[in-house]
Amino acid sequence: MSQTQYTQTQMHYADSEVTVSVANARETTGLVDWQTNGFSCMRHESCVTDWSDEDHLKQIHVPEIAQLAKALSGCDTVIAYPPLLRNPRIAMEIEDFAPIHFVHSDFTQDYEVMARDPKRDYQNFLQPLLEAQGLAPDTVAKASHMLMLQFWRNTGPIQPQTPLAICDAHSVPAEDLAPAMVESYGGGEFTFQTFGVLGTKNAQAHRWYTYPSMTRSEVLVFRTFDSRLAASGDAFWTPHSAFIDNTVGTNAPARESVEMRALCLFT
């Protein structure tokens, strides 16, 4: 795989801070897609006219992402999660919604358990989504295979101070993952388990990438859970983190972005 270095930056791992090299994914040969490497960037035009209006995003962007997730995965049913906005205004109101400078992958093997179990408090979040989308309460429990795809879009200046870096899933072994519980994220009434990533041993072997100057017409797709990969012991995680972009200077504008999650279900 031929890589072009974009910058070096400090990554905040679960056990250490490590200076790593971040490659320019646009100039890297050998990267394939989200199924192979855990992530890919693609062109995706949206009908959204105001990326700061959460209600507008729910009306327009949620069905757009549901349609894209179904086309990419070939699944039978998509449960599109609400949009998560990260910008300076929202970060002032909800600290959790500031860019996350911590190397992590959102979900562990426990995702399948909590999504299926009616007694887990994650149902406080999941069941209203099922009801709103006209799906039966046991839709997730009956699925034979579940996949979580995440969609990250830069909606502000194309050269923000803290863009997103993403790691080739196969460069991060399971031994580098440290499960941790997250409670009441963003004020939600539920808990979930996430992977923090350890850096002391293998950080220099982690293959980091970024897509410089992303526009609103592009979306970064990455996988953070797959029940079949979890069952086989293969990499279903895709570590990622905000990072300080040393190429744009200290006066670069703050990042504005929108994240979407789509739970893809197969019968």
Interacting residues of 224 by C-beta distance below 8 A, sequence separation 6+:
105, 106, 107, 148, 149, 150, 236, 237, 238, 261
Residue 1 has what pLDDT? 64
Chain centroid offset of residue 10 CA = 20
The two structure tokens encoding residue 83: 């949009």
Q: Where are the domains of the chain?
A: 5-106+143-185+195-266
* Cα distance between residue 51 and residue 49, in whole Å: 6
Residue 259 has what pLDDT? 98
Task: Per-residue pLDDT tens, the chain, 267 aa: give them.
Answer: 678 899 999 999 999 999 999 999 999 988 999 999 999 999 999 999 999 999 999 999 999 999 999 999 999 999 999 999 999 999 999 999 999 999 999 999 999 999 999 999 999 999 999 999 999 999 999 999 999 999 999 999 999 999 999 999 999 999 999 999 999 999 999 999 999 999 999 999 999 999 999 999 999 999 999 999 999 999 999 999 999 999 998 899 999 999 999 999 999
Residue 4 has what pLDDT? 85
The model's pTM: 0.96
Residue 250 has what pLDDT? 80
Residue 128 has what pLDDT? 96
Residue 237 has what pLDDT? 98
Strands (E), the chain: 5-12, 17-24, 39-43, 77-80, 84-86, 104-105, 145-154, 164-167, 177-183, 191-197, 208-210, 218-226, 240-242, 257-266
Class of domain 5-106+143-185+195-266: mainly beta
